Amino acid sequence: MDWGTLIGTALGASVGISATMLAERSRWKRETSARERAEKRQLYGEYLAALSRTRNELRALARSHTTPADERGREAGRAFRSGGAYELRHQMVLIAPEPVSALSVRTLHTLRDLVDRLEAGDVHTDGTWVHTHEAFIALLDELRVAMRNDLGVGE
């Protein structure tokens, strides 16, 4: 038996197996990355929608001059609890990178501040409401940019 042929065959098989394993690992990484990006995109969209939905309900309450202040406050709390952003925040903290996660929590806290303003009796023309609402909108814009950057979408 010729040892050179046997060694050449074994070496060729090793190279072939190694190349296949590297190709499979590369494909697995690509698929995992694409799946994670899709999951983030879904979560980010749901979180932004929940924040916007809740903000729209709060804004409508702030503009409602016919609704008594105490009822506006109760409805604001109900809108915050049913909007879904609070629950999604936990997923954001687990999945999003730190800059996006921190912004998502700050944005939610500012949304909660809007609820507090309504519970205090504010309407849409009160300075504290206007200031808090503007802060929320600025944070929401900043959060969108951070999310787009994380997803590789850019400006």
Q: Give the residue extent of every domain in the chain.
A: 38-151
Lookup: tokens for 84:
């879904």
pLDDT number for residue 155: 56
- Tell me if the pTM is above 0.85: no
38-151 architecture in CATH?
Answer: Up-down Bundle (1.20)
pLDDT number for residue 4: 76
pLDDT number for residue 1: 60
pLDDT number for residue 150: 96
Taking only the tens of pLDDT, the chain with its 155 residues reads 677 787 777 777 777 787 777 777 777 777 767 788 899 999 999 999 999 999 999 999 999 989 999 999 999 999 999 999 999 999 999 999 999 999 999 999 999 999 999 999 999 999 999 999 999 999 999 999 999 999 998 65
Q: Which residues contact 89 (CB under 8 A, 6 or more apart)?
A: 47, 104, 105, 108
92 touches 77 (CB < 8 A) = no
Q: How far apart are CA 66 and CA 81, in angstroms?
A: 23
Q: Which residues contact 40 (CB under 8 A, 6 or more apart)?
A: 95, 96, 150, 151
